Structure 1
Amino acid sequence: MATFEVRGLGKQFPTDPPVRALDGIDLTVEDGEFVVLLGPSGCGKSTLLEILAGLQQPTEGAVLLEGEPVRGTNDRLGVVFQDASLYPWRTVERNVELGLEFRGVGKAERRRVATEYLAQVGLSGFEKKYPHQLSGGMRQRAGIARTLAAEPDVLLMDEPFGAVDHLTRIQLQRDLLALWESRRRTVVFVTHDVGEAVYLADRVILLSPRPGRVAREFVIDEPRPRRRGDIALLAVESEIYAALTRIEERSATA
């Protein structure tokens, strides 16, 4: 069974005048698939992700999670935003424990799980540090560990590496792929970076300028682990850039 089925989805914000963010989105995300939503700024990528997460409701259409309608948030879905949003008064360890604490998990078990996931994201030894004592990349790792600690089946990630420097971003991409390959959770990942999309994804969904529609789908069937600069990956990047140029030109003349 597919993880997500999106059928005829539209979203309009009731501003003055109304803003049509998404229109006629049809999309299936398979179990264990790594799907990237790609497109120009303002095309509705983040809105679509938030609808999948149950944080927003569509104006029309349907979103199914393993055959059941998405109605509000769900513990099976873990969401990671661009800002790690760590509580500054809690240590890294206690930030990671937060979701487990809300669920009533005992202190010893919370500590064990936090330690395990901080190790997975490369933050062993930083458990007692506070967010202000970490670099931007380390804070983002801590945010990912907090999400993973809740053991979600699906990761929804909204430009999670957009606020870090280039070298840190490359390392975080590698870390994410290692975590994904260890368990093969379903991942839906938002970015506007074509290179990042091609390096990470099984499939890239290219959205048109607002209102966002599925303009093209690109299957990235190159073997993993992938190497940046690989000729086959660069060819896919080139094809995506060409498609982006065409849809933006059509939008400009519409």
Structure 2
Amino acid sequence: MSGGFTIEGVSKTFDGSSSPVRALDDIRLTVEEGEFVVLLGRSGCGKSTLLEIMAGLQNPTSGTVHLGQELITEPNEKIGMVFQDPSLYPWRTVARNVELGLELAGVPKARRKTVAQEHLELVGLPDAGPKYPRQLSGGMRQRVGIARALATEPDVLLMDEPFGAVDHLTRLQLQRDLLRLWSEHKRTVVFVTHDVAEAIVLADRIVLLTPGPGRIARTWTVDGERPRELDSPELMALRDEIYSHIGGEPAEESVQSTVDSQVGL
């Protein structure tokens, strides 16, 4: 394992139509090895930009990101990435989509097939390999995206609102699946969401970013064993405290997540 992330003074400015746009301002954050950190905030606060900088997909205007002792300036085999859209190649079977990173790394074909099948089983899709993405539901395609990211055995997993495009019940199931995988393998996970309930369900630590430019407004450590009951007094109080810092009321889907937790969905 390569340790966690150390983010020192990361700022990012983009060229705007009339003037530069500062997306991130002096982000300083440490993510410990094996920790599950959620980046939370409203749309436009720079969550995805920060995640892409951590993945080496963008470079900061200033500041540095290290994974362990290694400076991150480009994509790295130790870092797996899962996006909201899994972007599966429609002309490749599910198994061959999972094999993609291994193929690019020069892993022999027989080994690629074995690893792909192992990871499809890991995400609950043991029979999906011969199918094509169009034959799968949205939730199943997202599982394939997770399997593809895990197949190269990265030390860390970066996830950019990966469950945002699926229906509510599928989202809850994917949250449970992700927590199971994380508890079994203890990879470092940094997860972007704008949903407070999702953050509370998943995180060891929640990092709230301010809107435009993104700065760290507050962090919370989330106590309690998983799976968590969102109707507990402690977690309801945490939810309300987070919303008070965001400046809004609990979203409908977050309230529904609380109800679902009570009935065991």
Structure 1 residue 14 and structure 2 residue 11: aligned?
Answer: no
Q: Secondary structure at the match of 1:156?
A: strand
Q: Identify which of 65, 68, 79 aligns with 1:66.
A: 68
Equivalent in the alignment of 1:237: 239
The residue aligned with 1:3 is 4
CA deviation after TM superposition for structure 1 residue 104, in Å: 1.3
CA distance in 1, matches of 2:105, 2:72: 21
| Inter-partner Cα distance in structure 1 for 2:108 and 2:138 | 30
Which AA in structure 2 matches 1:129? K
The alpha-carbon deviation at position 61 of structure 1 amounts to 1.2
Structure 2 distance, partners of 1:228, 1:238, is 12
The reply to whether residue 172 of structure 1 matches residue 174 of structure 2 is yes
The 8 Å contact of residues 201 and 227 in structure 2, kept in 1 or not, is answered as no
**How far did residue 222 of structure 1 move?**
1.5
Match of 1:82 among 81, 84, 87: 84
Aligned-residue Cα RMSD (Å) equals: 1.2
Q: Report the Cα distance in structure 2 between the residues aligned to 1:128 and 1:62, rounded to whole angstroms.
A: 42
User: Aligned equivalents of 2:3 and 2:117: distance in 1?
Assistant: 32
Unaligned runs of at least 5 residues, structure 1: 247-254
Question: Would you say 1:163 and 2:147 are equivalent positions?
Answer: no
Amino acid at match of 1:12: T
Map 1:243-254; keep pairs closer than 5 Å: 243-245=245-247
SS across alignment from 2:219: strand
Deviation at 1:234, TM superposition (A): 1.7
The C-alpha deviation readout for 1:122-156, integer Å capped at 9, x for no partner, is 11111111000000000000010011001000000
Local SS of the residue matching 2:201: helix
Of the three residues 137, 147, 150, the one matched with 1:145 is 147
Between 1:188-197 and 1:94-103, the stretch displaced more is 94-103
Unaligned runs of at least 5 residues, structure 2: 249-265
**Does the CA contact (< 8 Å) of 1:2 and 1:28 recur in 2?**
no
**Structure 1 length-normalised TM:** 0.94
Question: What amino acid maps onto 2:112 in structure 1?
Answer: R
Q: In the alignment, which residue of structure 1 is the partner of 2:220? A: 218
Partner of 1:197: 199
CA contact (8 A) 2:7 2:28 kept: yes
Letter of the structure 2 residue corresponding to residue 32 of structure 1: G
TM-superposition CA deviations, 1:161-209 (whole Å, max 9, x none): 0000000000000000000000100000000000000000000000001
Report the AA paired with residue 4 of structure 1. F
Aligned-residue sequence identity (percent) comes to 64
Question: Does 220-229 or 187-196 show the bigger shift?
Answer: 220-229
Question: Per the alignment, in what secondary structure is the counterpart of residue 41 of structure 1?
Answer: coil
Cα shift at 1:2:
5.1
The 1:2–1:26 alpha-carbon spacing in structure 2 relative to 1, beyond 3 Å, is farther
Kept in 2: contact 1:53–1:79 (CA 8 A) = yes
Q: How far apart in 1 are the matches of 2:67 and 2:107? A: 26
Aligned-partner Cα distance in 2 for 1:2–1:148: 17
Counterpart for residue 250 of structure 1? none
Q: Which residue of 2 aligns with 1:252?
A: none
Contact persistence 1:222–1:232 (CA under 8 A): no
Do 1:199 and 1:233's aligned partners in 2 also have CA atoms closer than 8 Å? no
Which stretch shows the higher mean deviation, 188-197 or 7-16?
7-16
Q: What TM-score, normalized by structure 2, do the two folds share?
A: 0.90
Q: Report the Cα offset of residue 217 of structure 1.
A: 0.3
**Contact between 1:32 and 1:187, CA under 8 Å: does it hold in 2?**
yes
Partners of 2:111 and 2:233 in 1: CA distance: 47
Aligned-partner residue type, residue 8 of structure 1? G
